[in-house]
Structure 1
């Protein structure tokens, strides 16, 4: 006998056989029981969750000849022929291949004719979002006021692509992903009836891989059962699907704790030899550390994820990591996962990400963006309020003196002397250095450890994702920068590469980023940029106490000796100090 795929052989033929959509099933059953069936339905949701199956069961229910209650009998000629697809009055149309206006006009012309084989015509339009705008317009009037003998059932995985005028004329049902428990129970039931020996852990892992789609789960089970001669074990599932056992992730986590880079690289090479892909390994590792963080911070959080099979093992590993380090690990893995899509050598990027995780604890300031190191924090805590005020006053006085010197250009008594000129020229390198810093630099220095900055830093991965969704080319330049400080209305981002900063500063690109900042951070922010090495230099200088100004007394004859003659000043003005040599 020809083999029929499990997902086809076990497709539900009645509402009671469907898994995981109880809210939709009960509503449809009540409508059938009370004869309040609508003329148009919209079924939306992820793939493999039962949209087309529910549409076919509904088509049988409204046309069943022996119907007793809300379920089709599946025994009368109408039910059997609809199940086999032999009734011309119940048509399943694939909108992906029949998306033009001509096909919909043809359908509109046929709708007016009465059904010939069953009581009610039913049109099931699958992937309806693929229809063109003209096709939607042609369908609109018919969908709004169809003949009494016609029912439309629209199915789609992307309801946001449908015009609002179409949605408003249908009863909409959103199909949800089937839960892990419901999928596992259904798989176990099918295995028992098909004579397949399956370990519970294997079925649970298959359900996890299907991402809530029952059809995908049955396809995976069918493939593995064929390979293993109907003996499905956890190890066989891992080997065939390219999955990674939690024990292997536990070894990776322990190697990161021990900072054993040699073992990490060995484990990565082992995964690659087993045929695993670097991007999938990185994605699963991100999920693993996400679960560790959830278990560490939220009581009974093992119920919030379908990936934790052994909560006690996760708790023991989670207790070895600090919360801050777990946050940093998740942030780094998320950043590298975004870059992995554009990597020429994904394995190398995966190895670099793991090595960076090893050094995360040693240099937290580098990876956290703007967290102060322990010695700097201790030094800041040791300063009293009085000392801080005195330091601030001294810094303000020095800044005023520097500003006055730059404005005056070192002019004394209406004529500029050579020593005065050299003194005025002395701050020039500092002035050019200051030109690289953004305005109000002191506010950014003060805000580098603020609570607002910590909030922005934790949401930075969401900001990068938002920029990527808005415009991927802007994301490619913007990802080079990292947030280093926040004020009331601005976010300061430091860049390692000059061209990345300059491209980001272009008005069109900057507008995209500021729009995402407002959307993801909850309030409007200006984007301010600078180079990372300039920021590090400015931060280091702000941490150093100012040097006290030393006053010296000069004898009159020493001061007179330093004065120059007017003709010397004239020569310097004409030729420059570098070309003038003064000899006694």
Structure 2
């Protein structure tokens, strides 16, 4: 079989042939020209971006006797042998199938021997993240103190799986996805060399479908050439990639603007029945929305567009659709794209997305009406509240005047206390008082002090999202088995209580920091003084009863007899000293809650 795929025939043989990686190739060229090469390199990045090609070019350049400006000559015996894969001193290893300790030990032992026909012995280890932990450990010492004239080049698509001890001993180069423009330039050069006719728009379609991989782009180009009988047209590229023409995309957006759900669903069925790829359909819509948004904000910067053709239809649409609509379109399409990854019925999600998109204008109108009604109702409630407050103040002033007239003295201004408002429909965060009281009966000052001391360290061990939830939290009581944490905001308290992953992370990290993992109970900051006072009051009354008997067992109730342990009495005294007495304002709030019920009281601080 004499024919070779384009990506094999046109594999880069010089650094300047590598598309879209100018910063990396220039750095390597300068290092080679100045003789400042390292003993180990790490090339990371998505598939098909030039990592292995760059490693082979580097192997040729460092061993080439005719090196010129950091580029290999590709004509000497050494360069030709490396290109053909026949030089014994350049060893290419696939770590996916040679990932054991024995294979790496063999490399380590052979690396001690001097190169036979070249100046440097080069080890290129592809997909290095597939090595086992033992293999990485075997490689570590060699990377730290390599033999003379030996260079290791590690290539991977998943650098996060490589131990930091390995990464720190290499020079790391991150290969980025190749832009549409760079991919098109490379394909144009290849087609011109192969003397194949093409349309520039077709190359843009292929480059977008390749998603930043040059090898993928050349594979798709190969298919398009075969499909079109040695010519590359837009129609052929669309058929091969499953992409949409701009006319179809404009028709679909027209249905969105007109809120024509029937037209949108009809277009969708027509597109899918033609064999278009569902994932590619969503991707094209997202990129087209992005181009519309860019053109709206900066119409003169057409070079930033990913592939949209700025024709009359595109210009008209950009003037008709709003930026807010485009934000919502991109959000809906992005959610649909994520959902489609885990289903075998992608068309169902596309139909749902089409209905949502074509009803955006209606939803926006209903939403604005609801906001206006809410604003009007809110103003009415505020005015009613103000009137009620004024009546209360007038009643208070009347009482003061009556007292003044009766006693002939000067009335004292009433002490300002928190406003307690009865709210029958209030939906406050529900607190498990029973669990809190049980935990408080076992709490100690030592446990609390220990957790307060390590609390900043604990937060730093959480993820960014978890740390944001716990940022406004403070430990207020602790025992070996439990921990009460106070939150400044009810919503964060609710989120923390319902987030099982967060609770597990805190438990595991506490086990590492203090050697035990207490169960965390969350309470709002404004409710904590009330709960604490209720617990102290309850236990004080319990200890004052004559029927109290001391026991070493936990506190239980048997008929009329209360049995309280010495441990709990000591902890109660400890809590009384550790937790300050509530002030007069808090006492008023507690009495109000006892009178009206905890759920029907809201505390407002003046």
- 1:299: Cα distance to partner? 5.3
Deviation at 1:42, TM superposition (A): 1.2
Taking the aligned partners of 1:527 and 1:396, their CA distance within structure 2 comes to 34
Which shows bigger deviation, 48-57 or 306-315? 306-315
Q: Which residue of 1 aligns with 2:500?
A: 508
Kindly indicate whether the alpha-carbon contact (under 8 Å) linking 1:96 and 1:131 is maintained by their aligned counterparts in 2: yes
Say whether 1:376 aligns with 2:373: yes
Alpha-carbon distance in 1 for matches of 2:59, 2:275: 45
Question: Aligned in 2, Cα 1:316/1:102: closer, same or farther, shift over 3 Å?
Answer: same
Residues 45/336 of structure 1: CA separation in 2 closer, same or farther (3 Å cut): closer
For the 8 Å contact 2:198–2:232, the answer to whether it is kept is yes
Single out whichever of 335-344 and 213-222 deviates more from structure 2.
335-344
User: Is the contact between residue 195 and residue 230 of structure 1 (CA under 8 Å) also seen in structure 2?
Assistant: no
Is 1:323 the counterpart of 2:320? The answer is no
Partner of 1:89: 89
User: Counterpart in 2 of 1:337?
Assistant: 337
| C-alpha separation in 1, matches of 2:309 and 2:92 | 41
The equivalent of 1:481 in structure 2 is none
C-alpha distance in structure 1 between counterparts of 2:292 and 2:54, whole Å = 38
Deviations 1:245-270 (A, max 9, x none): 22211101101222222211211111
Separation in structure 1 between the aligned mates of residue 505 and residue 292 of structure 2, nearest angstrom: 32
Residues 396-411 of structure 1 aligned to structure 2 (within 5 Å) = none
Superposition deviation, residue 285 in structure 1 = 2.2
Any idea what SS the aligned residue of 1:373 has? helix
Task: Decide which moves more: 212-221 or 322-331.
Answer: 322-331
Instruction: Tell me if structure 2 keeps the 8 A contact 1:364–1:373.
Output: no
1:251 aligns with 2:251: yes
1:41 aligns with 2:41: yes
- Show the 5 A alignment for 1:314-463: 314-343=314-343, 345-364=345-364, 373=370, 375-376=372-373, 379=376, 388-394=382-388, 434=425, 438=429
CA deviation map 1:73-101 (0-9, x unaligned): 21211111111111111111011111111
Please state how far the C-alpha of 1:343 moved relative to its aligned partner.
4.2
User: 1:291: which partner in 2?
Assistant: 291
* CA distance in 2: counterparts of 1:32 and 1:490, whole angstroms: 61
Question: For residue 497 of structure 1, what is the aligned residue in structure 2?
Answer: none
Task: Please state if 1:227 is matched with 2:219.
Answer: no
Mapped partners of 1:513, 1:250: distance in 2: 48
Change in 2 beyond 3 A, CA 1:388/1:198: same
The answer (yes or no) to whether the contact 2:42–2:155 under 8 Å persists in 1 is yes
| Cα 1:325–1:489 shift into 2, 3 Å | farther
Instruction: Pick closer, same or farther for the CA change 1:167–1:254 going to 2, 3 Å.
Output: same
Preserved CA contact (<8 Å) 2:294 2:305: no
CA distance in 1, matches of 2:390, 2:235: 69
Q: Which residue of 2 aligns with 1:63?
A: 63
In structure 2, stretches of 5+ residues that fail to align are: 393-422, 432-463, 467-486, 507-521, 525-606
Q: 1:280 to 1:178 in 2, by over 3 A?
A: closer
Counterpart secondary structure, 2:362: coil
Alpha carbons of 1:351 and 1:138: their partners in 2 closer, same or farther (altered >3 Å)?
A: same
Deviation for aligned residue 1:187? 0.9
How many angstroms apart in 2 are the aligned matches of 1:348 and 1:395? 55
| Secondary structure class of the residue paired with 1:363 | helix
Distance in 2 (CA, whole Å) between partners of 1:136 and 1:209 is 36
Query: Shift of the alpha carbon at 1:134?
Result: 1.0
Whether contact under 8 Å (1:302, 1:311) holds in the other structure is no
Per-residue Cα deviation, 1:295-329 (whole angstroms, up to 9, x for no partner): 33455464444132326643421321233333333
- Please say which of residues 77-86 and 355-364 is displaced more in the overlay: 355-364
Deviations 1:106-139 (A, max 9, x none): 1101111111121211000111111111111100
Does residue 153 of the first structure (1) align with residue 153 of the second (2)?
yes
Distance 1:311 1:80, change over 3 A: same
Match of 1:306 in 2: 306
Question: Matched residues in 2 for 1:507 and 1:14: separation?
Answer: 53
Alpha-carbon deviation of 1:437?
Answer: 6.0
Q: For structure 1, which segment, 372-381 or 188-197, has the greater mean C-alpha deviation from structure 2 after superposition?
A: 372-381
**1:561 matched residue in structure 2:** none
Corresponding residue number in structure 2 for 1:262: 262
Alignment partners' CA distance in 1, 2:389 and 2:274: 61
Relative to the length of structure 2, the TM-score reads 0.64
The question of whether the paired residues in 2 share the 8 Å contact of 1:44 and 1:173 is answered with yes
**What's the C-alpha RMSD, in Å, of the aligned pairs?**
3.6
Segment drifting more, 109-118 vs 333-342: 333-342
Per the TM alignment, residue 439 of structure 1 is displaced from its structure 2 partner at its CA by: 7.5
Shift of 1:294: 3.5
Deviations 1:546-579 (A, max 9, x none): xxxxxxxxxxxxxxxxxxxxxxxxxxxxxxxxxx
Structure 1 stretches lacking a partner, 5+ long: 399-429, 441-464, 468-486, 495-500, 515-525, 529-584
How many Å separate the matches in 2 of 1:395 and 1:276? 66
Summarize deviations over 1:22-44 as a string: whole Å, max 9, x none: 22222222222222221111111
Contact 2:180 2:306 in 1 (8 A): yes
Say whether the 8 Å CA contact 1:29–1:71 is kept in structure 2: yes
CA distance in 2, matches of 1:67, 1:326: 53
Structure 2 CA distance for partners of 1:357 and 1:123, relative to 1, 3 Å = same
